[in-house]
Structure 1
Amino acid sequence: MHIVGGLIDLTARKRAEEALVQAQKMEAIGQLTGGVAHDFNNLLAVILGNLELLQKRLPSDPRAERLVSNALEGARRGASLTQRMLAFARKQDLHVEAVDMGSLIRGMEGLLKGSIGAETPIHTEVEDGLPRALVDAHQLELALLNLAVNARDAMPDGGTISIVVGTRVHNADTDDLARGHYISVSVSDTGTGMDPEILARAREPFFTTKGIGKGTGLGLSMVYGFAAQSGGAFVLNSQLGQGTTAEILLPIAPALEIPSTEQENRQPANVRPLRILAVDDDALVLMNTVDILAELGHEVVSAPSGSKALEALQTQGPFELVITDQAMPGMVGIELCRRVRKIDPSMSIIIATGYGELSDAPDNVVVVSKPFSEVTLIDAIGRTQAARSETVL
């Protein structure tokens, strides 16, 4: 009697199944995180707006001024936290440009040393003749700072941080990255490293091995979301007792791409009083927006939905500007914009979004992220009026 047997290696299949489950898990967490960040941004918009208005009306009382200033700082930290959550959920607004990585790394040396501490040496190496990366420079700086701080914290007994920038060829199409040439930015430490179980969870938001009060657990998740949204990838390699290397892969900018020269710190434009229609389904947010606009001298009519806004346009117009929320039931801000433009093609429009990302907004629409300050709103209104003037000319 003969028995014919065979062996099948299921290792590759098992790894693929585990990778799929992990990807689905991260996607679900990302959707939840983005939703929480959106709702939190609405709350912060109310808090920040009212505190700024209150600050203007305070009597000459140093203690009261200090209390309001502390509350404002806490709210701004909350806004920073939601930006990290949106980064993980891949819903932040990115301003990509062709970035000289050598200049960016050299420009960060002072910031890195000040944040990490002089006792931790940082070694940097940038490949000669490196092409520019297509990336949001500010968000990349935040990502690198997060990775450097994590690297320092992973070396309680001291060690060296290495930042290496070069090109890398990705030879195979994968679920998270197409084959091709990329800019590689890696941050390595000589610290404690991670075991496989911790490494598998390291990119999850709010997961941290640091003590209470020493970390939010959003640093690596922010980098992961930022890299993916930038058209690249985030790769973690670590072995227990041998340190960790965190690598960001970024797209290479087209050869003719030039760096953006627009300055984000431009002075807000002076705008004459306007007749404005403000639209938001959240009553507190709507009231806050109306109060800020009225404080600036504008005449404001409010509407709690897209359909009510269209009614107001017909019955309470004319208006010179519409400011609308994006995420509203029944009719989102973008759809309202399209319908408003059918009524008045020259109408100036601002869309406020708690998600931060709005890639399909109609032309000549200004997008602001919640929570926005009074200065941000002044600047946005100024840009709509400048665009309107150019259109008229």
Structure 2
Amino acid sequence: MPDQLHLIALVCAPDGRDAEVAISLLRESGIAAVAISDLASVVASINDGTAFVVLTEEGAHAGDLRALSGWLLHQPAWSDLPFIILTRRGGGLERNPSAARLSEVLGNVTFLERPFHVTTFISVARSALKGRRRQFEARARLDEISRLNTTLEERVAQRTEELQKAHSILVEEVAQRERAEEQLRQSQKLEALGQLTGGVAHDFNNLLMAVLGNLELLSKHLVKDPKASRLLDGATRGARRGAALTQRLLAFGRRQDLTVKAVDLSELVNGMDDLLARSIGSNIRIEKQLPSGLPMAIADANQIELALLNLAINARDAMPEGGTLSIYVREENLVNPSKELEPGSYLVLGVSDTGCGMNKDTLDRAIEPFFSTKELGKGTGLGLSMIHGLALQLHGTLMLTSTPGLGTTAELWVPATARVVEQVQVQAPPATRDITTQLRVLMVDDDALIAMSSVDMLEDLGHVVTEANSGAAALALLEAGHEFDLMITDFSMPGMNGAELGFAARKLHPSLPILVASGYAELPPGSGSDLPRLGKPYSQSQLATEIAKLFANVG
């Protein structure tokens, strides 16, 4: 039976590391796999234990497909051996004649463009394996039917009924698979869009870094010119609004800079009374249910405030004639895991309105990026997407319920701490000493605009700055014996990123203070998360403060 078969995937990727990578990924996901050197060996290796074949497009071109085509033409009627073709060219078959030819020759083909996402590759492989097991199941059933037809004709009616039930189950499983594949496609689309959005926001952060830095320095030279100061102030406010927009985009892409700590949600809501009242207007009544004694939430207070304000504004827009806005906080202890949440303790921040509500189609699309029911120019469609991205980044979720004509409820679930909010006396943090000594600073950034802006800010602070436009160039300066008091490096650089540069620099100068600047919050595991961080875009005062903190810690 299929469940008892030990199916093995055949991987034919003669060139490069494709075979090694594919086999490693398959084995990690529980699928046995072996490497095959050429097409002739593939044909010789195919047997009843073959799950599917992974084949590179260039490997197919380099070999003779006639033997494989002959085997496929004469494979049993129940068999339709799956192929996964790794290609370097995208687009439809009409734009890729080579892929069209492979599709005609091999039949059951899934094309996967390189470089591929690991999740996509594993999903395609598991689908192929599941399909192959279904083929063996069909063979087993056909064999069973054949035996029954020759030896037990009197039970035909009974077996027909059983087969009908089996067919119904198979049809339902196929339907479930199609629904799962559709959900996977939608998830992949959102993931791809999130990555694109995060990348664009990161680049926009770099542009804003140069704009804000130069505006700040320029304002020092035009302080006696009222008109110039007014123009600079307007430009600065516009750039900061752009920085706020990048935070929304990074939140949607789950890459915004988070400062996660214990947050008292009830106190946070109470502290926003004036802002909420001004934002929603006087024709909407606010009701709050904020019980005492709740645990603290593990969250970023600024991002939670932004999320609450977005939800309140959405509720206001849903109640143009006025109504009631309810804001509440409660604790939930989840025992069994759900689709979105792991078991544990959560704080729920809810916002409920008495507005027009949403129908099922609108509710299903509510968190899609750039989807909005508002008039053109009155909404970006990123509000709920940003909140959803924030919730996922905090290991929580956003739950929406709505009834047309009755209103909408949005609940932001975030993990809770084990301790209850206590009234404690807040002590002022220890003062950091000002850095008045002239420092020798090595500034590393591959972006010339940011490097120039940062160098100007550092020199304006009185430091002596040496600029390097790559990790390799910075490392060469350190290896040549140049002495520096501080190194400030961008994280995302080609060739050698900031974390790798930091590790290499520490080997040469273990006591060298290092500050990593990045627009991303979540760096890859093991990528220098222990190094002090400076979020982009940063101002001269923020730069000076971080340097002071760094030397206060060193001192």
Q: How does 1:273-312 map to 2 (within 5 A)?
A: 273-312=438-477
Counterpart of 1:233 in structure 2 is 397
Please identify, of 190-199 and 69-78, the stretch whose mean Cα deviation from structure 2 is larger. 190-199
The answer to whether structure 1 residue 330 and structure 2 residue 495 are counterparts is: yes
Counterpart Cα distance in 1 of 2:247 and 2:372: 18
Normalising by structure 1, we get a TM-score of: 0.91
Question: Residue type of the partner of 2:261?
Answer: E
Distance 1:21 1:355, change over 3 A: same
Question: Residue type of the partner of 2:462?
Answer: G
Q: Name the structure with the higher helix share.
A: 2
Q: How does 1:367-386 map to 2 (within 5 A)?
A: 367-386=533-552
The answer to whether structure 1 residue 141 and structure 2 residue 305 are counterparts is: yes
1:26-64: CA deviations, max 9, x gaps? Answer: 222211111111000000001111111111112633222
Q: CA deviation at 1:19?
A: 3.7
The answer to whether structure 1 residue 245 and structure 2 residue 409 are counterparts is: yes
Q: Is the 8 A contact 2:433 2:552 kept in 1?
A: no
1:162-205: CA deviations, max 9, x gaps? Answer: 11211224354345321233111111111122223322222123
Distance 1:132 1:364, change over 3 A: closer
The answer to whether structure 1 residue 124 and structure 2 residue 288 are counterparts is: yes
Question: Residue type of the partner of 2:192?
Answer: A
Question: Residue type of the partner of 1:279?
Answer: V
1:76-125: CA deviations, max 9, x gaps? Answer: 00001111111121112322222222222222222211222222111111
Question: Residue type of the partner of 1:382?
Answer: A
Q: Is the 8 A contact 1:356 1:370 kept in 2?
A: no
SS at match of 1:121: strand
Q: Is the 8 A contact 1:37 1:82 kept in 2?
A: yes
Distance 1:330 1:361, change over 3 A: closer
The answer to whether structure 1 residue 51 and structure 2 residue 218 are counterparts is: no
Question: Residue type of the partner of 1:325?
Answer: D
SS at match of 2:187: helix
Aligned length: 388
1:125-171: CA deviations, max 9, x gaps? Answer: 12443222121222211111111111111112221111121122435
Q: Is the 8 A contact 1:90 1:228 kept in 2?
A: yes
Counterpart Cα distance in 1 of 2:302 and 2:406: 31
Question: Residue type of the partner of 1:106?
Answer: N
Query: Among residues 236, 241, 245, which one is paired with 1:72 in the alignment?
Result: 236
Counterpart Cα distance in 2 of 1:267 and 1:115: 37
Q: Is the 8 A contact 2:328 2:349 kept in 1?
A: yes
Counterpart Cα distance in 2 of 1:384 and 1:295: 19
Q: CA deviation at 1:319?
A: 0.2
Distance 1:283 1:73, change over 3 A: same
Q: How does 1:178-197 map to 2 (within 5 A)?
A: 178-197=342-361
1:15-34: CA deviations, max 9, x gaps? Answer: 54444333323222211111
Counterpart of 1:98 in structure 2 is 262
Counterpart Cα distance in 2 of 1:388 and 1:267: 11
Question: Residue type of the partner of 1:384?
Answer: L
Question: Residue type of the partner of 2:542?
Answer: T
Q: Is the 8 A contact 2:296 2:420 kept in 1?
A: no
Counterpart Cα distance in 1 of 2:529 and 2:229: 42
SS at match of 2:295: coil
For structure 1, list consecutive stretches of 5 or more residues without a partner in the other structure: none
Counterpart of 1:28 in structure 2 is 192
Question: Residue type of the partner of 1:301?
Answer: T
SS at match of 2:271: helix
Normalising by structure 2, we get a TM-score of: 0.65
Question: Residue type of the partner of 2:489?
Answer: T
The answer to whether structure 1 residue 272 and structure 2 residue 437 are counterparts is: yes
CA RMSD in angstroms, aligned pairs only: 2.6
SS at match of 1:254: strand
Q: Is the 8 A contact 1:279 1:305 kept in 2?
A: yes
Q: CA deviation at 1:12?
A: 6.0
Question: Residue type of the partner of 2:498?
Answer: G
Q: Identity rate of aligned residues, in percent?
A: 50
Query: Among residues 371, 378, 394, which one is paired with 1:214 in the alignment?
Result: 378
1:216-237: CA deviations, max 9, x gaps? Answer: 2221111111111111111112
Distance 1:379 1:312, change over 3 A: same
Higher Rg:
2
Structure of greater relative contact order (alpha carbons < 8 Å, 6+ residues apart): 1
Counterpart of 1:346 in structure 2 is 511
Please identify, of 59-68 and 29-38, the stretch whose mean Cα deviation from structure 2 is larger. 59-68
For structure 2, list consecutive stretches of 5 or more residues without a partner in the other structure: 1-155
Distance 1:175 1:272, change over 3 A: farther
Counterpart Cα distance in 1 of 2:250 and 2:338: 24
SS at match of 1:71: helix
Counterpart Cα distance in 1 of 2:513 and 2:465: 14
Q: How does 1:249-264 map to 2 (within 5 A)?
A: 249-255=413-419
Distance 1:14 1:356, change over 3 A: same
